[in-house]
Amino acid sequence: MAAIGFIGLGNMGGPMARNLLKAGHSLKVFDLSVAAVEGLTAAGATKAASASDAARDVEFVVTMLPAGEHVRSVYLGEGGLIASANKGTLFIDSSTIDIPSARETIAAAEAAGMMMVDAPVSGGVGGAEAGTLTFMVGGTEAAFQKAKPVLEKMGKNIFHAGAAGNGQVAKVCNNMILGISMIGVSEAFVLGERLGLDAQTLFDISSTASGQCWSMTSYCPVPGPVPTSPANRNYQPGFTAGMMLKDLRLALEAAKTAKSPIPLGGQAAQLYALMEAAGEDGLDFSGIIKLIRGDL
C-alpha cells in the first residue's frame, strides 16, 4: 500500500483515483472543484489544501489535468509540485498534453532529482471506471518499472513507449488514426445508404472484409449494428468531438515540429472543427456522421 497524491479529479481522474482507493492505497486529493474533492473524500481519500500539499509526504503523485498549460502551472516554479514533494517521489502525469510540455516538465523533475513519466491513457470514462485503461508511458526504464504497479490498478494494458514524452507521441498517433478512420467509416455508411445499401448489410460485409476497423466494429457511427455504440443513444459521449479535436490539434502541432505531413489528420481536424463551430462538439466524435449526412 502506497501513499499517493492525486490532482485532477474530473471525468477521468475521479474514477481513476477511486480505483487506487479500492486497491488499498491511501490518497491525498486536490481539485479546483470542491464537488470533485468531496466525491473522493466520501470514498475514503484525504482532502489536501492545495496541489502542492497533495504532493507532500507521498511516494507517488498522479495528475489528470486538461492540457499542457495546467500541467506546467501545477508542476513548475516555486510552490509547484516538483519543488514541494519529498525527494524520491515519482510523478505520473496521465493528462493528454503537447509533447514539449511533457518533455519540459519531466526534464525539470529529473533536474530536481525526481523521477517522472508521462502516461496518457486511452479507454475513456468507461475504461477509467472499469480500471481497464491503456497507459502509454514515456520515461526511463527505472521510472516505468516503479510506476507500473500503480498504473496496473487503473489500467489493463501498460506500455513503455520509450523516452520522456513518447507516451504523448503514441497517444496523438493513435488518436489521429481513430479520428481519421471514424470519418472514413461515416462516409462509407452515408454513401452506402444513399446508394440503397442497408447499414446492417454493409456492416456484415465490411466488418469481415478489408474495411474492418475499430471505428466500425466497436463504435459504429450508425445505430443498430453495434448496440453499445454512442449512435444508439443520440451520440451522447463516450469521447466527445471536442476532445478528438483537441487531440488532432496536438497532432498538427507535433507534425509541424517534426516536419511530417499529415494531410488526412489536418482534414480530420477541420471536420471536427466544423462540429465545434456548429456548437455540437459535446456530441460523441462518431456524431461526425451527422455532419457528413448534412444534418448539422
Least gap, CB of 78 to ligand NAD (angstroms): 15
Q: What are 240's strand-pairing partners?
A: 284
Amino acid, single-letter form, for residue 95: S
State the minimum distance, in angstroms, from the CB of residue 147 to ligand NAD: 17
What does the alpha-carbon distance between residue 32 and residue 273 come to, in Å, rounded to a whole number?
28
How many other β-carbons are positioned within 10 Å of the β-carbon of residue 210? 6
Torsion sign (Cα): 27, 166, 88, 141 = positive
Q: Is 183 a binder of ligand NAD (CB under 6 A)?
A: no
Among 19, 52, 84, 95, binds ligand NAD (CB under 6 A): 95
Q: Which stretch binds ligand NAD (CB under 6 A): 7-15, 21-29, 80-88, 111-119?
A: 7-15
Active site (annotated) includes residue 171: yes
Task: List, in order, residues 6 or more apart from 78 with CB less than 8 Å away.
Answer: none
In angstroms, what is the minimal distance from the CB of 143 to ligand NAD? Answer: 20
Q: How many residues bind ligand NAD (CB under 6 A)?
A: 26
Per rule CB under 6 A, is residue 180 in the interface with ligand NAD?
no
Alpha carbon 173 to its chain centroid, in Å, reads 12
Residue 121 interacting with ligand NAD (CB under 6 A): yes
Residue 124 touches ligand NAD, criterion: CB under 6 A:
yes
Q: Stretches 1-9, 146-154, 226-234, 270-278: which one binds ligand NAD (CB under 6 A)? A: 1-9
| Radius of gyration, alpha carbons of the chain | 20
Residues 226-285 that bind ligand NAD (CB under 6 A): 239, 243, 246
Query: CB of 131: closest distance to ligand NAD in angstroms?
Result: 14
Q: Please answer whether residues 126 and 96 qualify as being in contact, where contact means their C-beta atoms are separated by less than 8 angstroms.
A: no
Closest residue by beta carbon to ligand NAD: 10
Q: Give the integer Cα–Cα distance in Å for 161 and 137.
A: 5
Q: Which of 4, 5, 6, 13 binds ligand NAD (CB under 6 A)?
A: 13
Contact mark string toward ligand NAD, 64..93, x via CB under 6 A: xxx---x---x-------------------
CB of 46 to ligand NAD, least distance (A): 16
With CA atoms as reference, report the closest residue to 70 among 98, 91, 46: 98
166 near ligand NAD, judged by CB under 6 A: no
Q: How many angstroms separate the CA atoms of 12 and 23, rounded?
A: 17
Q: For residues 268 and 128, what is the distance between their CA atoms, to the nearest angstrom?
A: 26
Distances in whole angstroms, Cα of residue 44 to Cα of each of 3, 31, 57, 243: 13, 16, 18, 30
- 122 Cβ partners below 8 Å, 6+ apart? 133, 134, 136, 171, 174, 175
Of 22, 87, 146, 171, the active-site residue reads: 171
Q: Is 178 in the site for ligand NAD (CB under 6 A)?
A: no
* 39 near ligand NAD, rule: CB under 6 A: no
- Where does this chain bind ligand NAD (CB under 6 A)? 7-13, 30-33, 36, 51, 64-66, 70, 74, 95-96, 121, 124-125, 239, 243, 246
Write out the catalytic residue numbers: 171
